Amino acid sequence: MKAVYGSTVLAEAPSDQLVKIEGNWYFPPSSLAEGEFATSDTAYHCPWKGDAQYWDVGSGDDQLPDGAWSYPEPLPGSVERVGSEFAGYVAFDPKVTVTE
């Protein structure tokens, strides 16, 4: 699967390496394009997943503030709830196209 914003490929991995949580595909850290993610100061806490890390994504004319997020240290019990490890996996804003 591939995550694309504008003409920029942000992540690419086989579908069996992704995790789907609440309708969002989470890509493994190893699938992320280098140089396309910058740490955002946006804070968010999910009551069952924990503290999220937001990322500004893209480069040049294809930039999307807070276009991606991850849970670096999911709360105890969340991995069991999801059924798969997802620490550090990255999901994308709906403005990012995720395709097979």
**Could you report the per-residue pLDDT of 27-58, keeping only the tens digit for each?**
999 999 999 999 999 999 999 999 999 999 99
CA-nearest of 42, 86, 89, 43 to 64 is 42
What pLDDT does residue 59 have?
85
Distance CA 80, CA 72 (A): 16
**pTM > 0.85:** yes
Helical H runs in the chain? 78-82
What pLDDT does residue 69 have?
98
Q: What is the CATH number of the domain that holds 14?
A: 2.170.150.40
Number of domains in the chain: 1
Domain extent for 41 = 2-99
What pLDDT does residue 62 have?
82
What's the pLDDT tens digit per position in 1-18? 999 999 899 999 999 999
- CA 25 from chain centre, in angstroms, equals 8
User: Which residue in this structure is represented by tokens 């097979």?
Assistant: 100
What pLDDT does residue 60 have?
80
What's the pLDDT tens digit per position in 58-100? 988 889 999 999 999 999 999 999 999 999 999 999 999 999 8
